[in-house]
Chain A
Amino acid sequence: MIVLELAGASKVYNPEENPVYALIDADLRVKRGEFIAIIGASGSGKSTMINLAGCLDTPSSGKVIIDGHDVSNLSEAELAKIRNEKIGFIFQSYNLIPKINALENVSLPLLYKGISAKKRKQLAEKVLNQVGLKERASHMPNQLSGGEQQRVAIARALITNPSLIIADEPTGNLDSKSGKAIMKIISSLHKKGKTIMTVTHDLNIAKLAERKITLKDGKIINGNS
């Protein structure tokens, strides 16, 4: 079963005056349960690729298919719905909302899904427990260490049980010890059958992945299947 497919996906910024080809004719298939790493120098098109995979953006040409749904031409509102249901994001800088506590941060995606407050709390407690932060539920983000904040962010990505988890430099802001702990969690998620796509400079993370996709100047140069 294919979770994500890029079929000849290209992204051109500023096509009229000064076109920038961020991604050129990319073909990629990610199977359910796969763990892939995207590597490449900065400006190689990694970000563009995960923006397309994460439905934050639509391709200039070609197709992006998530769980069999073509999302290439969806409106912003429809994309938001797909992101909410199918994608879990883990960012380099955690992106927790500072004025609400860990539990509320984790349950945020369910808010936009229209789940009741009681159910949200139950599910959020469950996923916080999975990342080992049960007793930190009522802490505000600024009361948590970087590693803990990233674990909260992982719990937030897990709460909707998404088809695809996208981790953009998940250890980039962390010291090596916290980074390892985060990698351990991500790798355990993979073992539980989650589909994970990560962008990284960290070769240790790339090593954990089953497959590495290398990008150069907007083109996939190896690892394609």
Chain B
Amino acid sequence: MEILETFKIALSSIKTNKTRSSLTALGIIIGVASVILLVSIGAGLKAYINQQFEELGSDTILISPGKMNFENMGGREDSFPGASANKLTLEISEKLEKRSKTAESVLPISVKSLTVKFGRETLSTSILGTTEEYALIRNSPAEKGRFFSESEVSGARKVVVIGKTIQKELFLNKDPLGELLILSGKKFKVIGILEEKGSTFGQDQDNTVIIPITTAKKQFDLDKLTYIYVKTGSIDQVEKASKETEKILEELVGEDSFSIVSPTEILTQVNSILSTLTLALGGIAAISLLVGGIGIMNIMLVSVTERTKEIGLRKAIGAQPKDIMIQFLIESVVLSILGGTIGILIGSLGSAVLGKFLTTRVTFWSIGLSFGVSTIVGVVFGVMPAAKAAKLNPIQALRHE
């Protein structure tokens, strides 16, 4: 018997029981839609984080003071930035730059929270002390005015480059260039405004002021560094640079006084966590797909019982057991594929709607997977009822009322 004919029989039987068929398919629809939706949220989150990391620069490595145990994320054993155990200073950073062969440039950074004041407006912000190379490495050139120069760094001049938020809050969007900004009671000349960066991981990147690191040391006693960025120039150099830097710093400050992480390394870790998360979300959603499959099996068993007499007749006039088997199997597969397709549409639609509020990404694999899984669900949960139908004894089936 032709497969096309079997499809026709299955479709006509699905059509005769419209309400029942749609309710059965609903189980699969909900399962598939939630798989698509949850996986799209997971994938969206991953894409968002990856993009954020890319902004940090994937060819850089980051040195922070103290030993950080990466296995227990954030579990520092002793020192904190600025604590006495912090052995990373501007001097160390300069020595590192001199000795390193792989580093394109080495960028010392020290960060401190304080209040800035202009006129009657005050704002608490973080100051960032660094060198003129910061503008090149961190892709934050001055949008207006200019970044400070090498001579201003070496001369420890009291100049400041401000973020957008500072301009908005303190200068009320007026032109701040040339004005005097008061940082913890000390006057600094505004020479530039940073390009707007938005927020990363929920933190306002524009609520910051940048001053020469030498000035920071002189005016605020900021001798200790919060970070040292090492730019390698290419992603392939990261590992090599990381090893070399480690060796140099071990000699300079001792092995327990610093930690090296590369964004790529963090990214790999974060990605593996996110993949597990996505998988877990998908797995939870897949349980509802399983429930949907049980719904199909249930309804197919009812259908087989209801149509026992029809099965008996078909057998009497020459249907082979395999013909009956295929007929019912196709019916359940058509039901589940129908549900799967509608579920994919609803899931993608839902993800598009949700995409207005957070990053979602409908992945090709989640569509392929849920389509495949719903087909398999149709086969797996259809086999038992279909086999039951195929095994019916024609004499008893015909006698069934």
**Chain A residues engaging chain B, CB cutoff 8 angstroms:** 51, 54, 56-57, 76-77, 80-81, 83-85, 89, 91, 95, 97, 99-100, 108-109, 111-114, 117, 156, 160
Partner of B313, one of A84, A97, A113, A117: A97
Separation of A99 and B12 alpha carbons in the complex (Å): 8
Contacting residues, chain A, for B317 (C-beta < 8 A): 83-84, 89, 108-109, 112, 156
B318 in contact with A77 (CB, 8 Å):
no
Distance from B82 Cβ to chain A, minimum over Cβ atoms (Å): 81
Q: Given A51-B395, A95-B313, A97-B310, are A112 and B320 neighbors across the interface (CB < 8 Å)? A: yes
Q: Given A111-B1, A112-B317, are A100 and B322 neighbors across the interface (CB < 8 Å)? A: no
Separation of A89 and B322 alpha carbons in the complex (Å): 21
A114 in contact with B2 (CB, 8 Å):
yes
Q: Given A57-B395, A114-B2, are A100 and B12 neighbors across the interface (CB < 8 Å)? A: yes
Q: Is B319 at the interface (CB under 8 A from chain A)?
A: yes
B318 in contact with A83 (CB, 8 Å):
yes
Q: Which of A76, A80, A112, A113 has the most CB of B within 10 A?
A: A80
Q: Is B13 at the interface (CB under 8 A from chain A)?
A: yes
B395 in contact with A113 (CB, 8 Å):
no
Distance from A104 Cβ to chain B, minimum over Cβ atoms (Å): 10
Separation of A111 and B5 alpha carbons in the complex (Å): 8
Q: Is B321 at the interface (CB under 8 A from chain A)?
A: yes
Contacting residues, chain B, for A108 (C-beta < 8 A): 314, 317
Closest chain A residue, CB of each to CB of B316: A89
Q: Given A56-B395, A95-B398, A99-B12, are A112 and B318 neighbors across the interface (CB < 8 Å)? A: yes
Contacting residues, chain A, for B321 (C-beta < 8 A): 76-77, 80
A95 in contact with B309 (CB, 8 Å):
yes
Contacting residues, chain A, for B395 (C-beta < 8 A): 51, 56-57
* Given contact pairs A57-B395, A95-B309, a sample of 5 additional A-B residue pairs in the complex whose CB atoms are under 8 Å apart: A80-B315, A81-B318, A91-B398, A111-B1, A117-B5
Contacting residues, chain A, for B104 (C-beta < 8 A): none
Q: Given A80-B318, A95-B398, A156-B317, are A112 and B310 neighbors across the interface (CB < 8 Å)? A: no
Separation of A95 and B309 alpha carbons in the complex (Å): 8
CB-contacts of B261-313 with A (<8 A): 309-310, 312-313
Separation of A114 and B1 alpha carbons in the complex (Å): 5
Pick 22 A–B contacts, CB within 8 A, sort by A: A56-B316, A57-B395, A76-B321, A80-B315, A80-B318, A80-B320, A83-B315, A83-B316, A84-B317, A84-B318, A85-B318, A95-B398, A99-B13, A99-B16, A108-B317, A112-B1, A112-B317, A112-B319, A112-B320, A112-B323, A117-B5, A160-B318
Contacting residues, chain B, for A100 (C-beta < 8 A): 12
Interface size on B, residues (CB 8 A): 23
Closest chain B residue, CB of each to CB of A47: B395
Q: Which of A77, A81, A95 has the most CB of B within 10 A?
A: A95
Q: Which of B313, B319, B323 has the most CB of A within 10 A?
A: B313
Separation of A108 and B394 alpha carbons in the complex (Å): 16
Distance from B225 Cβ to chain A, minimum over Cβ atoms (Å): 81
Q: Which of B2, B16, B309, B318 has the most CB of A within 10 A?
A: B318
Contacting residues, chain B, for A89 (C-beta < 8 A): 316-317
Contacting residues, chain A, for B13 (C-beta < 8 A): 99
Contacting residues, chain A, for B322 (C-beta < 8 A): 77
Q: Which of B1, B5, B317, B395 has the most CB of A within 10 A?
A: B317
Contacting residues, chain A, for B316 (C-beta < 8 A): 54, 56, 83, 89, 95
Contacting residues, chain B, for A114 (C-beta < 8 A): 1-2
Separation of A81 and B319 alpha carbons in the complex (Å): 8
Distance from A123 Cβ to chain B, minimum over Cβ atoms (Å): 14
A56 in contact with B318 (CB, 8 Å):
no
In the A-B complex, the 3 residue pairs with the closest CB atoms: A84-B318, A112-B318, A95-B313
Closest chain B residue, CB of each to CB of A57: B395
Closest chain A residue, CB of each to CB of B16: A99
Separation of A17 and B323 alpha carbons in the complex (Å): 34
Separation of A109 and B320 alpha carbons in the complex (Å): 11
Contacting residues, chain A, for B5 (C-beta < 8 A): 111, 117
Separation of A100 and B16 alpha carbons in the complex (Å): 10
Separation of A80 and B312 alpha carbons in the complex (Å): 11
Contacting residues, chain A, for B319 (C-beta < 8 A): 80, 112
Separation of A63 and B36 alpha carbons in the complex (Å): 61
Separation of A86 and B329 alpha carbons in the complex (Å): 28
Distance from A23 Cβ to chain B, minimum over Cβ atoms (Å): 13
Partner of A56, one of B16, B314, B323, B394: B394
Contacting residues, chain A, for B315 (C-beta < 8 A): 80, 83
Separation of A91 and B309 alpha carbons in the complex (Å): 12
Distance from A81 Cβ to chain B, minimum over Cβ atoms (Å): 7
Distance from A153 Cβ to chain B, minimum over Cβ atoms (Å): 10
B320 in contact with A113 (CB, 8 Å):
no
Separation of A81 and B398 alpha carbons in the complex (Å): 18
Separation of A156 and B395 alpha carbons in the complex (Å): 18
Contacting residues, chain B, for A57 (C-beta < 8 A): 395
Contacting residues, chain A, for B312 (C-beta < 8 A): 95
